[in-house]
Chain A
Amino acid sequence: MDDSGFKLRLKQQQPIPLDVEIECRAGELLALVGPSGAGKSTILRTIAGLHRPDAGSIQCGQAVWLDRQSNIDVPVQSRRIGFVFQDYALFPHLTAQQNVIIALGHLDSNRRHERASQLLEQVNLKGLENRLPENLSGGQRQRVALARALARDPEVLLLDEPFSAVDQVTRRKLQQELVVLRRAIQIPILLVTHDLDEAAMLADRLYVLHKGQTLQNGKPGEVMRQPNSALVARLMGHSNIFSAVVEAHDSAQGVSRIDWGGISLELELNEAFAVGSMIDWVIHPAHIIMHRRDRPSLGERENPVHGVVREFLELGETVAISLELEANQAIYLKFTLSRHSATRNGLAVGVAASVSLLAEGIHLMPKQ
């Protein structure tokens, strides 16, 4: 860890079990994702000093904020953190400017006004300084909360679902503003979110949490494409998670084969799993290619799978399809197509269809 990074280790049983280790470099944005009750918000609260775990340590730069073994527990007021709460927690009786000024206690009183104005300008709120929170829109309130969080010149920025209370359009705008803002502040940023797209878009690294434990951490694309377990795959929103048996490895050809309920699938060589072992595997819908009835192609030789459409849900311009396999009727493949493509192929409930499972998209995981 570099000098201005952040390192945390927490362990507790109550009120929710937690056993995590997290590191974040200066300038890095980490997203903590996972279902409700995974402990994401508790981690942020612990970093802030609002929650004391049974055991653990927190180091921010050179400073130790918490070390239960050595009885070090720096009070919340002395930890230089910026915290954006889920519902912003603005002080309702204070104007936007006063909300920021109150967090500028470390500056001389004659400089606070000017600094608050600068911060509000930085979050595009110039001209709204004298409004009370009740007279601001959701997006504007979020910006005040962000300006207030930055006011303390924090060593770490904590964002607890900061975009969940605004509409989709505002959310996209605020997310873009965060991308711009983080270039200007070289501190560790921890973002708690339920929104996987948001995490993938904003974060340098993801921590997937479940029941207080880190299941996997890595770059968003990596975690999304290569989950290390079926559970992570499910948490990342994958719906095509199956079991299979490793059939063979052919290092000369650079391929491995798995037996998927009677269907033999070819994938890129992966000798991490022994022949004969049970594994879980996952494929992203982007790697499921529909065979065109009107124009067969060579690509159709790659792991062809035949079945019958059992579900056909039109969702705006896309169609969600559930394909019951011909070889094993207990298995359903799920993927989406554009409405145009579905129409062109004459797809509907009960219609036979074939797809190819791209070898590069088949990812194996240890059996759970």
Chain B
Amino acid sequence: MDITALTLSLKLAFWTCLILLPLAVFVGRLLAWQHFPGKAWVEAIIALPLVLPPTVLGFYLLIGMGANSSFGQFYHSLTGNHLVFTFDGLLLASVIFNLPFAIQPMQRAFEAIPTNIREAAWCCGLSKLESLQRIELPLAWPGVVSALALTFAHTLGEFGVVLMVGGNIEGETKTIAISIYDRVQAFDNHTAGIMSAFLLLFSLVTIGLVYRLTYRRRRHGR
């Protein structure tokens, strides 16, 4: 078992979830309740990582974050670090390729809250922030948990984008999925098997929990 790779993967998943949680709540809520021109295209862009080959997404991220790109240069002038083949770049890529996994379940959860429940909250004197904290999030929490679980599991398992953007640098960008590939290349099937089994089990438990939550939510009619 490559503990360094596992730790890095867990760290990457943790930070990805932490960044995506407020972002996905904001965007999910916006998409659930607001109508604006071009909304379908915004939703399409968010869903792109679901259908694009990871190498294509990775390629564009590599170009977009490279040292010669304006964003890469801007980031360098801001932090002194590069994005390509670093943990920072990997994290940014992870946030982007997890957008649909985080936003879509939250959007569905917020959409399921009837409009008049939110209006009733305002009529009770709750500000929009209080309404979010006390009414909307408690009602949408299965969606929020689903989103975080999916994002976490998906980050641990992502291979193509990580390889394109992060490469294979021990302790910096070599995640558990890359390590498995590495071990197989080195004919170390035993270690690859242990790590694969771990990922398989972890993913199964996560998805199982998400389905259980969704089932409970349906049973309770919300």
Chain A residues in the interface with B (C-beta under 8 A): 45, 48-50, 76-77, 81-83, 85-87, 89-93, 102-103, 105-106, 134, 148-149, 151-152
- Which residue of chain B lies nearest to A85 when distances are taken between CB atoms in the complex? B116
- Taking the nearest CB of chain B, how far is it from the CB of A222, in angstroms? 33
- Taking the nearest CB of chain A, how far is it from the CB of B38, in angstroms? 22
Q: Are A105 and B124 touching (Cβ within 8 A)?
A: yes
Write out the residue numbers on chain A whose beta carbons fall within 8 Å of the beta carbon of B121: 91, 102
With A50-B123, A134-B221 known, 15 other A-B pairs at CB within 8 A are A49-B122, A76-B122, A77-B122, A82-B123, A85-B116, A85-B120, A89-B117, A91-B117, A92-B139, A102-B121, A102-B126, A102-B135, A105-B125, A148-B124, A152-B124
B80 at the interface (CB under 8 A from A): no
Q: Which 9 interchain pairs have the tightest Cβ spacing?
A: A103-B124, A89-B120, A89-B116, A83-B123, A76-B122, A105-B125, A93-B138, A85-B116, A77-B125
Could you list 18 A-B pairs, sorted by A, with CB under 8 Å? A48-B119, A50-B119, A50-B123, A76-B122, A83-B120, A83-B123, A85-B120, A91-B135, A91-B139, A92-B139, A92-B221, A102-B121, A102-B134, A102-B135, A105-B124, A105-B125, A134-B220, A148-B124
Q: Are A103 and B119 touching (Cβ within 8 A)?
A: no
Chain B, interface SS category:
helix
Of B114, B123, B139, B220, the residue contacting A81 (CB under 8 A) is B123
- Which residue of chain B lies nearest to A76 when distances are taken between CB atoms in the complex? B122
Complex Cα distance A82/B120, Å?
Answer: 10
Write out the residue numbers on chain B whose beta carbons fall within 8 Å of the beta carbon of A50: 119, 122-123
- Which residue of chain B lies nearest to A81 when distances are taken between CB atoms in the complex? B123
Write out the residue numbers on chain A whose beta carbons fall within 8 Å of the beta carbon of B135: 91, 102
- Which residue of chain A lies nearest to B135 when distances are taken between CB atoms in the complex? A91
Q: Count chain A CB atoms within 10 A of each CB in B125, B127, B222 and give the residue with the most.
A: B125
- Taking the nearest CB of chain B, how far is it from the CB of A289, in angstroms? 48
- Which residue of chain B lies nearest to A101 when distances are taken between CB atoms in the complex? B124
Complex Cα distance A82/B121, Å?
Answer: 11
- Taking the nearest CB of chain B, how far is it from the CB of A288, in angstroms? 44
- Taking the nearest CB of chain B, how far is it from the CB of A107, in angstroms? 11
Complex Cα distance A90/B122, Å?
Answer: 13
Q: Are B116 and A106 touching (Cβ within 8 A)?
A: no
Q: Are B120 and A91 touching (Cβ within 8 A)?
A: yes
Q: Are A105 and B126 touching (Cβ within 8 A)?
A: yes
Complex Cα distance A103/B221, Å?
Answer: 24
**Contact A87 B116, CB 8 Å, known A92-B139, A134-B220, A134-B221:** yes
- Which residue of chain A lies nearest to B222 when distances are taken between CB atoms in the complex? A92
